[in-house]
Amino acid sequence: GTPLAVLAAIARIARSGAFVKDGAHLEALSTADTIVFDKTGTLTTGSPSVVDIRTVDGITTEALLMLAAAAESYSEHPLGQAIVAHARAQGLPVGPSEHFTYQPGQGVSATVAGKKVAAGNRTLVPDAPETLPAQGIATAVHVSANEGYVGTILLADVIRDSARRSITDLHRRGLRTLMITGDQEMTAQAVAAELGIDDVRAGLLPDQKLAAIDAERAAGHTLAMVGDGVNDAPALAHADIGIAMGSGTDIARESADIVLISSDLNDLTHTVHVACRARRIVM
């Protein structure tokens, strides 16, 4: 059976807002040396807003926004939803679109007014410009119509308040932090620098996130991975301990061993703290 100290720890953690599916996960968490974080929706709130729109000659910002919003109209991704909300806020019509497909970690495509529209990163829109000036932590969503690049929508996300303290606390406990994200290098580095994250792997597709987890484990690390997206689910399942944000997708929450119900990263630090204490009592 599960030791009483572990059951008591699970109850304590539950009161603070984290759901632990099994006592064994808590014991595994107490031995982790590295905490791996997804970026969008995990370290950031995942409620980005449109801050700038760049278009090629001959396309207005409204036309670009309408194409992108129509393509994203079925999107469950925070970037897509922000684009649709922005178009609506500008009083622009959204949709209709057909043949919607979502490529996790890349973006979406759909047929809009007879054109094949793609909205996403450079994997999906390869002829997008290499660098766009003055980006900071903004994420670029590139748009193409019938395979021709037509413009870029820049969205700024907000770093969670709880991320700063949580990362500091984890470092104080001697844990290493690593960010693995599907977002581009520049944006990832800016967020990591802001939070003091030890290491960054950017531009990763879902199976590359998985490979990053496997490589870390093969190097002898014990990992807890925190994520929220469809693209994080395989990595959450492969980490020694998978931790999902409560605000995350169903599949992330199902794939995880621990769920941070209110998506407060201080609940993560608290869970690590209680897990380590319970371990000292049991062993």
Q: Which residues are at the interface with ligand ADP (CB under 6 A)?
A: 38-41, 72, 75, 77, 79-80, 105-108, 119-121, 139, 141, 181-183, 229, 231
The active-site residue, picked from 22, 38, 183, 207, is 38
By CB under 5 A, tell whether 41 contacts Mg ion. yes
CA 64 – CA 152 distance, rounded (Å): 8
Nearer of residues 106 and 166 to ligand ADP, judged by Cβ: 106
CB of 67 to ligand ADP, least distance (A): 12
In the list ligand ADP, Mg ion, none, the entry touching 151 (Cβ below 5 to 8 angstroms by class) is none
CA 111 – CA 114 distance, rounded (Å): 6
- Using CA of residue 133, residue 131, residue 125, residue 195, what is the dihedral sign? negative
Between 199 and 228, how does the x/- string for binding to Mg ion read (CB under 5 A)? -----------------------------x
CB of 78 to ligand ADP, least distance (A): 8
Nearer of residues 40 and 152 to Mg ion, judged by Cβ: 40
CA 53 – CA 182 distance, rounded (Å): 21
Nearer of residues 40 and 97 to Mg ion, judged by Cβ: 40
By CB under 5 A, tell whether 40 contacts Mg ion. yes
In the list ligand ADP, Mg ion, none, the entry touching 183 (Cβ below 5 to 8 angstroms by class) is ligand ADP
In the list ligand ADP, Mg ion, none, the entry touching 242 (Cβ below 5 to 8 angstroms by class) is none
- Any idea what DSSP says for residue 21? S
* Options 28, 30, 34, 38; binder of Mg ion; rule CB under 5 A: 38
CB of 77 to ligand ADP, least distance (A): 3
CB of 43 to Mg ion, least distance (A): 9
The helix-helix angle for 185-195 and 161-172 (nearest 10°) equals 70
Helices (H), ranges, 113-205: 161-172, 185-195
Q: Tokens in use for 29?
A: 């968490």
Nearer of residues 13 and 82 to ligand ADP, judged by Cβ: 82
| Whether 199 is catalytic | no
Give me the torsion for CA of 177, 131, 83, 242, rounded to 10°: -20
How deeply is 99 buried, as exposed, middle or buried, from its count of CB atoms within 10 A (0-12, 13-18, 19+)? exposed
By CB under 5 A, tell whether 229 contacts Mg ion. yes
Nearer of residues 23 and 182 to ligand ADP, judged by Cβ: 182
By CB under 5 A, which span of 40-48, 91-99, 188-196, 239-247 interacts with Mg ion?
40-48
CA 97 – CA 32 distance, rounded (Å): 46
Residue nearest to ligand ADP (CB): 182
CA 136 – CA 175 distance, rounded (Å): 27
- Any idea what DSSP says for residue 33? -
Closest to 242 (Cα-Cα) out of 38, 5, 86: 38
Residues 154, 140: contact at Cβ < 8 Å? yes
Nearer of residues 16 and 49 to ligand ADP, judged by Cβ: 49
- Any idea what DSSP says for residue 112? E
Give the residues lining the site for Mg ion (CB under 5 A): 38, 40-41, 228-229
